[in-house]
Structure 1
């Protein structure tokens, strides 16, 4: 199988699984998936700039953007949140297991053997720490997002203020203005 087929399948195939998600879950977790994709792309660019890794091949015409950042990572983040959100330790354990697969298998063995991607200035363990930190940031973003979407029931420090004007008597309410 060619590298282009592998890369394009990592970009497009995960989106087919969205048909198995509830519409409400897609709406709820799409922002965190997009946030994860954008921050992964930024981390990838910073890693290339600092010499942590090298992209040998990407999906044409995407020049320096890895397809798993905007495909697999986006959708996988949504699925992880569907099953683990509001259970922080379950979320972190799930991410730790997935990140081991990415950092120690995909980035260390599979991609270099296909000459797609190489870790050069960083060890797989250091990459693992970066991805775990990224998972914490993503969880924090979703908590912030949920706080924005849920209307606060707090009362203000002013309490229940009433208007300062005195209500009109019934006689004054029914009088025409020109009298």
Structure 2
């Protein structure tokens, strides 16, 4: 049963991408990959500081950075959130807060109930929400930079000087 839940959280998000246009996926895949790398680092930090430990994993090698979360829900979820909210920062922030609350108060409790994670950990749900909100802002700035919305002024001023 637990493995089915983990596979569900890994595969279903990827299947959902069939609902999007290829140009949307190409547009937001860089920020999704960036989010995956940052989330992997954050999972490694959480593991080192005993924020949580996993009892159940999809593979023998994903005890630290869970594939179902980092490469499934978070990675693909980033694409969906940007698709619906990019260039509307406050809506983006509110949507992220809602998703982060669902994760922190809902899924973390579900993981503990299903014994996917251990019952202990020193990271409170509110601390997790704060960390994820800071990361979401970093991802938004990254996407702005990726689309050339940050840095154009600097390029123009350099061209005028030279």
- Asked if Structure 1 and Structure 2 have the same fold, meaning a TM-score greater than 0.5 normalized by the shorter chain, the answer is yes
Residue 41 of structure 1 and its aligned partner are, at CA, apart by 1.2
Q: CA deviation at 1:47?
A: 0.4
CA separation of 1:3 and 1:62: change in aligned 2, threshold 3 A = farther
What stretches of structure 2 of length at least 5 have no aligned partner?
A: none
- Aligned partner of 2:140 in structure 1 is 139
Specify which structure has the bigger relative contact order, considering alpha-carbon pairs within 8 angstroms and separated by 6 or more residues.
2
| Residue in structure 1 matched with residue 83 of structure 2 by the alignment | 82
SS at match of 1:144: helix
Question: Larger Cα Rg: Structure 1 or Structure 2?
Answer: 1
Contact 1:4 1:60 in 2 (8 A): no
More helix, by proportion = 2
Q: 1:104 offset after TM fit, Å?
A: 0.7
Residue aligned with 1:71, SS? helix
Per the alignment, residue 164 of structure 1 pairs with none
**TM-score between the two structures when normalised by the length of structure 2:** 0.88
CA RMSD of aligned residues (A): 2.1
| Structure 1 stretches of 4+ moved >6 Å | 148-153
Kindly indicate whether residue 37 of structure 2 is the aligned counterpart of residue 38 of structure 1.
yes
Equivalent pairs counted in the alignment come to: 157
Deviation at 1:140, TM superposition (A): 1.3
Partner residue in 2 for 1:72:
73
TM-score normalised to structure 1 length: 0.80
- In the TM superposition, 1:22-171 aligns within 5 A as 22-64=21-63, 65-66=65-66, 67-107=68-108, 109-118=109-118, 120-147=121-148, 154=156, 156-157=159-160
> What's the secondary structure of 2:148's corresponding residue?
helix
Please list every run of 5 or more consecutive structure 1 residues that lacks an aligned counterpart in the other structure. Answer: 160-179
